């Protein structure tokens, strides 16, 4: 049996078992030389086999056509892979040997794919709590029963202090949340508490930023309603008031508060509560209208942008989707002969928005989408600018598809819906079982989405300001690229036993690096993803965990070479990963400053960084890992304490100077330290039975 490309590069014995590979003749066919990895992504290479698919794709809204070819390239040699219809996979190294990976071995991947029940919630395979093996191994040193802590009083004390810090962070975070929810709700008839000039700015931010990917409003019509609202705010209908408030709140989510407007977020949260109360009240006919559906969509988006229950929007999307279908938005307006042009276009745009919100929420929740492309016949929105249509039922001719309009980006995302729905379905479907044929589908779906990421720029309106265009690009790229990361990240661990999955390792890392640090950054979008929850929060979690896992795998694979014998390429690659991990830690700390109450992610990433910095120094690794966890929690606690004071949360004097001795010393139970009742990180302290490797 010949070694794989990674082992040739590392000059060590191949660790892939003979049960999963056999010798075979030359590869049947070679692929072309072109790569399709997004050119805007950082040039990151997995030393093993840097696999990328051939440029084949599934139709975006048509029938799926599985890809049958992809190739692998490495730093030293090229390995080419063919997936013939016969059901075996053959590779060639330097045209000399090849390896067969049997179909049933690929199917074994499903055995390690898990779902988890976290309190009352089921997390499917696309949920980020799955597939964190490398970090679980690192965090396992915090287990009070770890072999290193037994008989080591200093280490046991450190672990107890970590438990105390976690409890202190949890208590303080609960106090902040209790303070926020106990604040008096906005009187629906109250006069606006924010000056109109500020509201004007926030509404403009919403209209020029969010109304690119999510077309919810016809902007000229909304501006008329907006002026009507300000002519008599206390006399305006509730549904219009809620619409204006939610639009303003979304604008606030990308505008950091200043000294002149310190209470923006507090006010915005109260508006969201008011909208939620209105929707939760007795069923009203006004809810089942275009305006009512607009309020629902705005609320779902605002809850994620302002991190107010944004991790549970999948539940709310059930109501939104069914409301839209009850109103017939899943049927194309051409079926309704008397419908005007403006109403028809608003319905198409709203339906496309509902579908986009739906597939994003399904991916985050780890559940299969509740709708498929066979459940609707509504066409993509027409290629109009808003000013091309009015409320008189008249419209100018639609622009050519080559002309970029205010609807172009949503039209593009709508055309890219099918592969993303398929990713969410095969990741979280009950009957989804990885196999050779299924992995071919993964490749084909990935190719389609990567091609979409590459072609995204053609649908960005460059007549906008540079900041606006960058926001649109960053936003749409996230809505697409995160599906690549989440379909491949759970399969990265399979590279230990099957070289086929190096393709997943490559694509997972490339997507993570591009998501974590976009080449062209926009400050407004950067603020949004650090403040928000839901898809904005999961973006950072998935990407940072993928980078941390790759770094730890790289260290483990290169360990036999010795820390001082690493080649220049390996050292440079590790430096890239280390810098990316530091960026993830920075973003995690910033999220805590802006309101995130989950401190465990920052702790895990800090431990991963410590392990990478201690590579080759195994004698005191466990002690340094525990120290890094403690330092992370101390920083997070100080940040949460500062935020509590700034929000006016009453803190007892003893809380400010609280020490570990103030916490009753009892037996440390790791399971008692979950940070949120509605959102809990994966188990930090215990490994699955089949993985009992300890850090030394």
Element (H, E) at 317: helix 313-326
CB 608 within 8 A of CB 138: yes
What is the model's pLDDT at position 657? 52
What is the model's pLDDT at position 445? 96
What is the model's pLDDT at position 123? 63
315-357: pLDDT as tens digits: 999 999 999 999 999 999 999 988 999 999 999 999 999 999 9
Element (H, E) at 477: helix 466-488
Mean pLDDT of 26-45: 40
What is the model's pLDDT at position 28? 40
200-240: pLDDT as tens digits: 999 999 999 999 999 999 999 999 999 999 998 888 899 99
Q: Is the pLDDT of residue 58 over 80?
A: no
CB 490 within 8 A of CB 125: yes
Q: Is the pLDDT of residue 86 over 90?
A: no
Q: Which of 593, 650, 635 is nearest to 265 (CA)?
A: 593
The first and second tokens of residue 209, run together, are 């930023």
Q: How confident is the model at residue 129 (pLDDT cuts 50, 70, 90)?
A: low
Question: With left for phi above 0 and alpha for psi between -120 and 50, is residue 354 left, alpha or beta?
Answer: alpha
Mean pLDDT of 516-527: 92
What is the model's pLDDT at position 357? 98
Q: Is the pLDDT of residue 24 over 60?
A: no
Q: Is the pLDDT of residue 253 over 70?
A: yes
Q: Which of 10, 171, 306, 272 is nearest to 664 (CA)?
A: 171
Element (H, E) at 90: strand 89-93
Q: How confident is the model at residue 66 (pLDDT cuts 50, 70, 90)?
A: very low
The residues, any chain, with a CB within 8 Å of residue 326's CB and separated by 6 or more, are: 288
Element (H, E) at 23: strand 22-24
State the Cα–Cα distance between residues 282 and 656, nearest whole angstrom. 44
Q: Which of 253, 134, 217 is nearest to 556 (CA)?
A: 134
Mean pLDDT of 151-169: 84
What is the model's pLDDT at position 286? 77
Q: Is the pLDDT of residue 467 over 70?
A: yes
Q: What is the pTM of this model?
A: 0.78
């Amino acid at each position: 049996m010949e070694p794989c490309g990674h082992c040739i590069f590392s000059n060590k014995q191949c660790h892939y078992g003979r049960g999963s590979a056999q010798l075979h003749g030359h590869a049947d066919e070679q692929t072309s030389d072109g790569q399709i990895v997004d050119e805007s992504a950082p040039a990151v290479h997995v030393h093993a086999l840097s696999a990328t698919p051939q440029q084949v794709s599934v139709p975006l809204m048509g029938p799926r056509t599985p890809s049958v070819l992809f190739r692998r390239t490495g730093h030293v040699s090229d390995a080419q892979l063919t997936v013939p219809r016969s059901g075996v996979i053959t590779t060639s190294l330097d045209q000399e040997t090849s390896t067969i990976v049997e179909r049933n071995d690929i199917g074994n991947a499903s055995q390690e794919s898990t779902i988890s029940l976290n309190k009352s919630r089921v997390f499917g395979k696309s949920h980020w709590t799955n597939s964190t093996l490398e970090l679980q191994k690192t965090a396992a040193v915090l287990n009070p029963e770890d072999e290193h802590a037994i008989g080591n009083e200093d280490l046991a004390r450190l672990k107890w202090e970590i438990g105390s810090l976690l409890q202190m962070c949890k208590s303080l975070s609960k106090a902040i949340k209790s303070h926020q929810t106990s604040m008096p709700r906005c009187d629906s008839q109250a006069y606006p508490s924010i000056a109109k000039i500020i509201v004007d700015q926030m509404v403009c931010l919403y209209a020029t930023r969010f109304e690119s990917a999510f077309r919810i409003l016809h902007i000229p019509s909304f501006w008329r309603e907006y002026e009507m609202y300000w002519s008599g705010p206390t006399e305006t209908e509730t549904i219009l008031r809620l619409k204006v408030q939610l639009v303003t709140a979304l604008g606030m989510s990308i505008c950091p508060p200043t000294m002149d407007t310190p209470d923006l977020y507090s006010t915005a949260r109260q508006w969201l509560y008011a909208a939620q109360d209105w929707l939760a009240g007795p069923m009203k006919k006004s809810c089942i209208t275009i305006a009512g559906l607009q309020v629902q969509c705005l609320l779902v988006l605002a809850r994620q942008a302002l991190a107010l229950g944004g991790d549970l929007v999948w539940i709310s999307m059930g109501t939104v989707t069914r409301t839209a279908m009850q109103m017939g938005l899943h049927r194309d307006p051409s079926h309704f002969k008397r419908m005007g042009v403006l109403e028809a276009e608003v319905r198409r745009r709203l339906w496309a928005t509902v579908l986009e919100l739906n597939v994003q929420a399904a991916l985050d929740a780890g559940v299969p989408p509740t709708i498929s492309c066979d459940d609707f016949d509504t066409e993509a929105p027409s290629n109009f600018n808003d000013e091309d249509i009015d409320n008189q039922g008249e419209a100018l001719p639609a622009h050519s598809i080559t002309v970029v309009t205010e609807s172009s980006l949503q039209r593009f995302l709508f055309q890219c819906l099918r592969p993303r729905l398929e990713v969410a379905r095969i990741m979280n479907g009950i009957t989804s079982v990885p196999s050779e044929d299924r992995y071919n589908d993964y490749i084909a779906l990935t190719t389609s989405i990567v091609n979409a990421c590459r072609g995204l720029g053609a649908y960005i309106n460059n007549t906008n300001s540079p900041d606006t265009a960058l926001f649109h690009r960053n936003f749409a790229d996230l809505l697409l690229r995160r599906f690549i990361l989440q379909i491949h990240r759970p399969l990265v661990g399979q590279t230990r036993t099957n070289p086929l999955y190096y393709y997943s390792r490559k694509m997972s890392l490339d997507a993570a690096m591009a998501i974590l640090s976009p080449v062209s950054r926009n400050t407004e979008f950067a603020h949004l993803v650090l403040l928000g929850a839901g898809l904005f929060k999961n973006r950072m979690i998935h990407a940072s965990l993928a980078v941390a896992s790759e770094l730890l795998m790289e260290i483990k694979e290169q360990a036999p070479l010795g820390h001082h014998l690493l080649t220049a390429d390996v050292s440079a690659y590790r430096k890239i990963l280390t810098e990316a991990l530091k960026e993830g830690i920075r973003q995690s700390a910033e999220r805590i400053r802006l309101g995130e109450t989950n401190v465990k992610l920052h702790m895990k990433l800090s431990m991963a960084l410590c392990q990478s910095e201690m590579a080759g120094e195994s004698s005191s690794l466990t002690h340094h890992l525990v120290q890094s966890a403690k330092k992370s929690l101390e920083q997070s606690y100080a940040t949460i304490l500062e935020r509590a004071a700034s929000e006016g949360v009453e803190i007892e004097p003893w809380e400010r100077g609280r020490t570990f001795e103030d916490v009753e010393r009892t037996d440390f139970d790791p399971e008692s330290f979950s940070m949120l009742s509605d959102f809990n990180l994966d188990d930090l302290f215990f490994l699955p039975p089949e993985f009992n490797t300890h850090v030394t």
